[in-house]
Amino acid sequence: MDKVKLSAKVRDVFGRRTKKGKKEGLVPAVVYGKKITPKSLWINALDFSRLLKKSGESTMIELEIDEKDKRNVIIYEIQRDPVTSKYIHADFFQVRMDEEIEKAVELSYIGEAPAVKEMGGVLVKSLDEITVKCLPADLPSEIEVDISVLKTFEDHITVKDLKISPKVKVDIDPETVVALVEEPRSEEELKSLEEKVEEDVTKVEGVIKEEKPAEGEAEGKEAEKK
């Protein structure tokens, strides 16, 4: 696979002191690996966003630190702000080109399923990603799933149907279903789903149903209150 390039600079500030860099459009990052001394970095948020949009998270990156130190890395983890979704940290793992790596690769669903378009079915995706093992140079950026083969409700796509290079190992049962199309629900089924199920609270442990007193008892209690 083709490598993409990303520039970085050594970072010497940490914790709250990184706020200034973040305001300037930088993202704190770190690179580490086997027998590699971790190094704290800054990367450009816009460049990183463009890289992810074009190549995805499972791709080989040539990380150039301070315009001189080039390293082959993969993205290990990305942290985002839960409110703004902005990148707040990135972890890069430095790889050896002669050693296999394990990485989750995203499944990209392409095409249109005739069973959905022509028969009104519902597409069911069982997997979003698959973990693969291979040499860094053979790491796919994504694995395509062509759903145009789903012509009937009996059709389904399994892991063994995916077009994956023989150089890439997949540690999952080849018969695992990746995608299928379910029949649309009948009117009777939809009606039954809309019906509300009334539950007797007295059957719930710890809940005691208060019974209404008899007419005579009620009058007696009112008299006692007076």
- Give residue-wise pLDDT tens across range 49-87: 999 999 888 889 999 999 999 999 999 999 999 999 999
Task: Choose among 39, 55, 78: nearest CA to 2.
Answer: 55
| Measured CA distances, 120 to 82, 106, 181 (Å) | 36, 27, 9
pLDDT-above-90 percentage for the chain = 74
Task: Tell the residue number behind the tokens 């399994």, with chain if given.
Answer: 158
pTM above 0.75, yes or no: no
Say whether pLDDT at 7 is over 90: yes
Domains of the chain, each with CATH number or no CATH: 1-95 (2.40.240.10), 97-186 (2.170.120.20)
The pLDDT, as a whole number, for residue 3 is: 77
Count CA within 13 A, CB hemisphere, residue 114: 7
pLDDT recorded at residue 120 = 92
Express each pLDDT in 110-136 by its tens digit.
999 999 999 999 999 999 999 999 999
Q: Residues 147-161: pLDDT tens digits? A: 999 999 999 999 999
State mean pLDDT over 2-25. 92
> Which residues, including other chains, have CB under 8 Å from residue 80's CB and lie 6 or more apart?
86, 87, 88
pLDDT of residue 67: 93
Burial of 10 (0-12, 13-18, 19+ CB in 10 A): exposed
CA distances from residue 207 to 157, 172, 202 in whole angstroms, order as listed: 49, 47, 6
pLDDT tens for each residue of 17-38:
999 999 999 999 999 999 899 9
Q: Report the pLDDT averaged over residues 141-149.
A: 95
pLDDT at res. 119: 93
